Structure 1
């Protein structure tokens, strides 16, 4: 620790460092009762960050030693909005994580978004080895899209010994990998084998795009940017509907659509139906996820199965393995995927 920093930082230390009264520090920490100017607030928060101040109840935990946090895990997701929890894909993953944590007597101390870490009070309170022993990062690609990752991720790595990523690796951290390139390639190759060459793509800006392009290239087909539409992940369902309508109006010769996930695929089916296109007779649909609803809609959805609940379970077990036996496992584990063929792709029409 820097010699200029006291071993246990108090509000008086923060006040002295910021050049304000202790009362002002309290007002900032408690959001009142008195208003504080933005300049003073910034000075106090900067001092909190520089000194690593944590509220008294957490200082008390220091006396107990790191064992107090041995069974506690934090979860940070990329981005800033709780609309993530409305998505079936992530809600099932989190269910697997929480179910397994309960079975193994582990405690998920907090679930938050990367954006929250920019608040030094939140950061110092939660990202601390006396608070948690392990940290799971969801949506790491969104974390990398935030310019503050260059400052915050190294601080997290310095404070927490055991951090793993889910889906995509960042900062050379151990990762439970979901091979989205292989999943997308598998879906598109299935459509190509069924005879489709004009394949629309409702895309998310991630590795699915690479897989889509790879499948085309492997079959000597040229990528056509006019057939790809970028989904708005903040409003996935309505965005997919609108983009499907746009796609069939501007590229009326498409005979298939690859959707980045089941939500987008189901919206695409609705849009096609509303615009007089039959699925799969006129336009075949394939996606990625295999959420529960995919087998209940009509036509039932052909989709690449992602073991979502198991992902949450594997993530928790992977964290514990890394914590208890560092480097005993490979730095990464690749999750299994498989194509589930139902009615929406038209394969069963071909077979019949």
Structure 2
């Protein structure tokens, strides 16, 4: 036995037993308490639901047929309510295979038939509690990872922001005259610091999406107007490299989508900025158009808006395209970054019910295509959007 003062205390599993028969409740309670479990009893489904928030069971042992509210309804309500944590449900039934199938379809994790064999009951209880422990451990690891990333990015951002302000003051000679050589060195340092700050911010956004903690604000967004704004903002970068940056075929009335303006702006900035970054000669063209979804796909006949960013850069090798949108996967190009920008853009498009694809050939440039519904609210479900809110 581990007597270390730092050892994690042993957790006693809690089981909520729900049955309208007092005799059954007494027998199951006696059996499970002998195994060391903490037991709470309920005589119907409504009473069980009322006890769950305070008792917080690790397992629900649930009779299928009961007055007031049966086990099927309890299962349905428990699985449909996202406020509840995962609680394994062991359904007890005396009926045929159809009743078992119904219970499993509603969200029960296992079942056992009456009359109950105690050895089988204990085996199924232990099995479902192992499942519960596994899920809880996974969720705890995810929570700790999210907390670590949030703290890390916050701790990194604070000195980076302070350094950015100090470098800006030095460059503006707020603390006294400096030579041109020093000013040039400070500007290079400032750009590097801003790039690092941008990477930290992107990392934080990626983990917010991955953890389902990102809050979005949906409204009507004019993608053509948004594209013009981003192009105007990035034109100086293109001009500095001698590139032509143009918006072509922008629709005037069909570019309205339902989305988060700031997040969609992030996608456009990333796609157009990358095109400028990796293109040394020629042009970057941004093209907006609408098209009908083919009849053999989801929501046939609906309109989508398509944004294509085409460059005359070096192109992307075939062996790099498959993992291009994965996090922390960088290309072999000397200017490749952290690999997070495209991954984040793909996640943003996914929560807008859209996609991002790429067509590229080495030596012939690349075309990144983002698509999303024109009138998304007509068929988007609230449940889908809740995944990221």
Is TM (by shorter chain) over 0.5? Answer: no
**TM-score computed with the length of structure 2 as normaliser:** 0.26
**TM-score computed with the length of structure 1 as normaliser:** 0.28
